[in-house]
Structure 1
Amino acid sequence: MKQLTNILLIGFFLLTVILMQAQKKSNRLINDFMKVEGNWTGQLTYLDYSSGKPYMMSADLEIKRISNTNEFLFVHTYPKEKSANKTDTLSISKDGQYIGKEKLVSRTKLSNGDIRIITEKEGKDGNDGKKATIRQTYILGNTSLSTQKDVLFSGETAWIKRHEYVYKKQRN
């Protein structure tokens, strides 16, 4: 009986440690995105699959946390193409393993203090909706912010840069 009690105590202890680590990972990601809350101005460059050429357009971004949750609103506005304006919700899982439906691949503090976060998911992309691995890379800094989407189509070996947003912090 004593042996069973010890096993249960050890199991409970290990479960507690694992849950605390998951919460720590989630909180770290939340703090990363809290640091980039505010207004950003910049541009979007995306690959036009029809022409095979990059297209650039002005883009602004407002990031704000939804109350004290693990969710952030990304309000995208395009000064010269208002019909493209949209709002996305970025959600960080409670265990810190996912951003939305994308699996966290890595989180790295860069030498300049910025944070690089890479996520991946399986999905479809392209004009004909081909199966692909989709990688999202966030570079979060005090005065600069970028997000880049890369696509690896099923059966291919080369990643394609689908789009990239590059922003500078707006001064208040």
Structure 2
Amino acid sequence: MKNILFTISAILFSLILNAQDSISLSDFETLNNTEWEGKLTYIDYQSGEPTSIDTKLQINIESNKIKYNMQYVYEPNKNNKSSVQIKKGGTFYGNEKVISNTIKNETRTIVTSYEGKDNGEKATMYITREFDETNLTISKKVILKNTGKSLIRNTYKFTKTN
């Protein structure tokens, strides 16, 4: 009997440790049909110095996708439109694994991660999306595989305009 209880306890403990947060489209509802203005601040690959540019963003939820329309005020050739689907039962935001989804003082924070390259080096990227009714911040933290060095590669800070 002790062995059965121990086995069941070990399995439950393992499930709890391996549990990850999930997300749903409703978590993003406060961003639906919104317009934002702000700045992108990024670490320039060549100089290593922070650079900021004015940015505008519109977000809509349509057909089970979150659609982004990003404009860079002084670099219109960099403008882009993208869309993201929530996948695998809410455990993936596009191709990014959901690490956490929390709410504190009416601010939702969603952290995702993915493997890739930063400036030609293998790295793990962590994207933090933090938002409420009037503010939206999206930051990208990079941890380089070879050195373990971490840096905030870029941060978008927006204020809602509509």
TM-score, normalised to structure 1, is 0.78
CA displacement at 1:138 relative to structure 2: 0.2
Q: Is the 8 A contact 2:35 2:160 kept in 1?
A: yes
> What residue ranges of structure 1 are gaps of 5+ in the alignment?
1-24
CA displacement at 1:125 relative to structure 2: 1.3
CA displacement at 1:158 relative to structure 2: 3.0
**1:66-103 per-position Cα deviation (integer Å, ceiling 9, x unaligned):** 23x1x111100112111110011121114010001110
Give, in whole Å, the separation in 1 of the partners of 2:36 and 2:89: 29
What is the letter of the counterpart of residue 121 of structure 2? K
Question: Within the alignment, does 1:89 sit opposite 2:83 as a pair?
Answer: yes
Give, in whole Å, the separation in 2 of the partners of 1:78 and 1:149: 18
Paired position in structure 2 for 1:137: 128
Query: Counterparts in 2 of 1:153-168, with a 5 A limit?
Result: 153-168=144-159
Q: Is the 8 A contact 2:122 2:146 kept in 1?
A: no
State the structure with more CA Rg: 1
Equivalent of residue 29 in structure 2, options 34, 47, 50: 34
Query: Counterparts in 2 of 1:49-88, with a 5 A limit?
Result: 49-67=45-63, 69=64, 71-88=65-82
Pairs aligned (count): 142
CA displacement at 1:157 relative to structure 2: 2.5
TM-score, normalised to structure 2, is 0.82
Q: Is the 8 A contact 1:32 1:140 kept in 2?
A: no
Root-mean-square deviation (CA), in Å? 1.7
Question: Within the alignment, does 1:124 sit opposite 2:120 as a pair?
Answer: no
CA displacement at 1:142 relative to structure 2: 0.5
Q: Secondary structure at the match of 2:110?
A: strand
Give, in whole Å, the separation in 2 of the partners of 1:158 and 1:33: 32
What is the letter of the counterpart of residue 81 of structure 1? E
CA displacement at 1:136 relative to structure 2: 0.4
CA displacement at 1:170 relative to structure 2: 0.5
Which structure carries more strand by proportion? 2
Question: Within the alignment, does 1:100 sit opposite 2:91 as a pair?
Answer: no
> What residue ranges of structure 2 are gaps of 5+ in the alignment?
1-21
Give, in whole Å, the separation in 2 of the partners of 1:94 and 1:121: 15
Runs of 4+ in structure 1 off by over 6 angstroms are none
Q: Secondary structure at the match of 1:35?
A: helix
